[in-house]
Structure 1
Amino acid sequence: MDVSLALWALTIAGLIALIAVDFVIGRNPHDVSVKEAGIWTVVWVVLAGLFGLGLLVFAGGEPGGEFFAGYITEKSLSVDNLFVFVLIMSKFAVPSQYQQRVLLVGVLIALVLRAVFIAAGAAVIANFSWIFYLFGAFLIWTAWKLIQDARSGEEDEEFEENRLLKAVEKRVPSTDRYHGTRLFIRENGKRLMTPMLVVMLAIGTTDVLFALDSIPAIFGLTQDPYIVFTANAFALMGLRQLYFLIGGLLKKLVHLSYGLSIILGFIGVKLVLHALHESGVHVPEISIPVSLGVIVVVLAVTTVTSLIASKRQAAAEGEAADEERPATPVR
């Protein structure tokens, strides 16, 4: 897809405008209701859908299909981020009314860092076609690791700060109390950093770890930097509202890791087949419609089975509690 500099500038300007609207909406700290989160989640999904339809109309079926496949993949992988976001909010004891501001700025930091990753990935792919073997192998290994972790029941119960956060906290004087949404305050003539800035950096920089598998995954669906960037942008920019909408449902998605592992493994195989094809080996390649279908079906099945399993587990725990409850003596 041939994207002009003017289209890039227009797209980035449009995204900045949407971010500005998001800032205006969330300028007053408040607890986000499920209704508010639901409305804005729908808005972001509709905007992504309209963008994808625009690609279908003006660029053709292939770019449009690649965008939708990439967007759905990135959106599903971003749900995994929410588990860590919950841990971060808990570790830093972020007051509920400030969490939306934290997520807004944190996701913005993540988007900028992902743009750097995407630019680097596009440059590498353009010059070294063998990188597809590496990307494919990495995704297959990640898929296997996800399955192993899911089967062993291992879950991250604590958030560990990365090196950047530790360096910032060590070198920059800080206070241990929140002061509204302020990032710095002055006390006794000294400029101090507040926990608000630290937790924003935690959200933004932690996303880099997730980008290590999500960026190769979307490059397995399309090598067009414009589609890769826009799919990531729309997936990330609706993440804040999704956090408040499904925060309570995250523990019920018990089979999510299995679904994500299947998707990552599938895209890994697709990348290896593409690399072999580029090397002159006659192997079948997986088309975008097939990729999109597999991704949608896997997510639908794992969501349904997760909810069924959670319901059965809750029922079993209820029965166990009833059995342990002492019987009321008969008088």
Structure 2
Amino acid sequence: MLEIGWLTWALTIGLIVALLAVDLVIAAVRPHRVGFGEATAWSVFYVLVAIGFGVWFASVHGGSFGAEYFAGYIVEKSLSVDNLFVFVIIMTTFAVPEEHQHKVLTFGIVLALVMRAIFIAVGATLLSLFSFMFLLFGLLLLFTAVQLFRHRDEDPDVENNVVVKVARRVLPVTDEYAGGKLLTRVDGRRVVTPLFVVLVAIGGVDLLFALDSIPAVFGVTEEAYIVFAANAFALLGLRALFFLVKGLLDRLVYLSAGLAVILAFIGVKLILHWAHVDLDDRVPEVPTSVSLGVILVILVIVVVASLIKTKGDPTAKAHPGSLRASASEPSESKPKN
């Protein structure tokens, strides 16, 4: 059992808040187009911070907990890349100017951290009280994996997202971005800008991803502190990673299928853990080291296979995948022209 004092929690949260504050200040004070060099520098910095934290954590609390942190971090980092696909779609759908994309991403990361912190607290409490929650989490991940694999070649329909549709219906929205403001005045009337609707869309996406990613990382570790740290450090680098790899995302054509396999694997791992605890202790469990190895192998295969595919077929394009068929897709029951 991992023992984490209030001071360690406070210092960890303080470090994360400080890093987020730097991002917010840069986005607010100096809105600009983020170039490749700047994105690379920030990406390397955040990866080094995450690795440094993991090394410190392993040295203080032991290699076993350190392995759980790194496994959780890799799971969340791989799932966060799928977030980037959806962020690109949202930015394109709403034609967000490049100088404001930095701000949108930073606010999106803040929303994601808040939502995931809530889910982590709820999930940790449920797991500590009811062991059958491991079964429910496992079944949820298996369902998500099947749906994601079935719709791996689709894009989520942002415009038909219920949250976005409600926001457009309820709130007066101007056509101009108004210098990156969330609220402005038109003819003396206070209205929201498209940037506000973009944040609403990203918030809705963050909620959906939290529903998947939190059970996934709990499949690697039961420790709430490790779950929180893995999520936080994976998300902190998301803003820089967006500007670094957004030109390469189209080439990761097998990423959604790979993530589906990873989610299915973790789902089975959770179900085996539940069976081991509640049914029969002879039911085998999957060690963290094996989980880490399987996840890394799947990711390597996905990246290599994707690059080979797109090299041989330049027209091949990656999609983030969806948990349900797009409303714009023709129904299979309808005749095709």
Tell me if TM exceeds 0.5: yes
Q: Give the conservation status (yes or no) of the 8 Å contact 2:159–2:165.
A: no
Contact 1:41/1:238, CA 8 A, preserved across alignment: yes
Q: Offset of 1:280 from its aligned partner?
A: 4.3
1:21 equivalent in structure 2: 22
Q: Is the 8 A contact 1:107 1:204 kept in 2?
A: no
Paired residues for 1:1-331 under 5 Å: 1-26=2-27, 27-150=29-152, 154-156=153-155, 158-281=157-280, 282-314=282-314
Return the alpha-carbon distance in structure 2 between the equivalents of residues 195 and 147 of structure 1: 32
In structure 1, give the amino acid aligned to 2:146. W
Aligned 8 A contact 2:119 2:214 in 1: yes
Q: How many residues align?
A: 314
More helix as a share of residues: 1
Give the whole-Å Cα distance in 2 for the aligned partners of 1:180 and 1:226: 39
Deviation at 1:242, TM superposition (A): 1.0
Mapped to 1, the partners of 2:53 and 2:244 lie a distance apart of 23
Displacement of 1:167? 3.1
SS in 2 for 1:192: strand
Is the contact between residue 68 and residue 221 of structure 2 (CA under 8 Å) also seen in structure 1?
yes
Question: Amino acid of the residue matched to residue 183 of structure 1?
Answer: L
CA contact (8 A) 1:37 1:242 kept: yes
User: How far off its partner does 1:12 sit?
Assistant: 1.0
Give the conservation status (yes or no) of the 8 Å contact 1:110–1:204. Answer: yes
Q: Deviations over 1:198-217 (max 9, x none)?
A: 21221122111112211111
**247-256 vs 306-315, greater mean Cα deviation:** 306-315
CA contact (8 A) 2:73 2:234 kept: yes
Tell whether the 8 Å contact from 1:109 to 1:201 is kept in structure 2 after alignment: no
Distance 2:221 2:300 in 1: 23
Alpha-carbon separation, structure 1, partners of 2:237 and 2:3: 27
Contact 1:73 1:218 in 2 (8 A): yes
Q: Residue 173 of structure 1 aligns to a residue in which SS?
A: coil
Instruction: Work out the CA distance in 2 between the residues paired with 1:32 and 1:50.
Output: 25
TM-score with structure 1 setting the length: 0.90
Give the partner amino acid of 1:304. V
Indicate if the aligned counterparts of 1:106 and 1:202 stay in contact, CA closer than 8 A: no
What CA distance in whole angstroms lies between the structure 1 residues aligned with 2:172 and 2:146? 42
Identity level (%): 52
CA distance in 2, matches of 1:17, 1:275: 38
Secondary structure at the counterpart of residue 186 of structure 1: strand
Q: How much has 1:161 moved relative to structure 2? A: 4.8
Verify the 8 A CA contact 2:112 2:206 in the aligned structure 1.
Answer: yes
**RMSD of equivalent CA atoms:** 1.8
Query: Match for 1:185: what amino acid?
Result: T
Q: Does the 8 Å CA contact 2:112/2:210 hold for their aligned counterparts?
A: no
Moved segments of 4+, more than 6 Å = none
CA contact (8 A) 2:252 2:303 kept: yes
* Deviation of 1:287 (Å): 0.9
The 3-state SS of whatever aligns with 1:185 is strand
The worse-fitting range, judged by mean Cα deviation, of 259-268 and 305-314 is 259-268
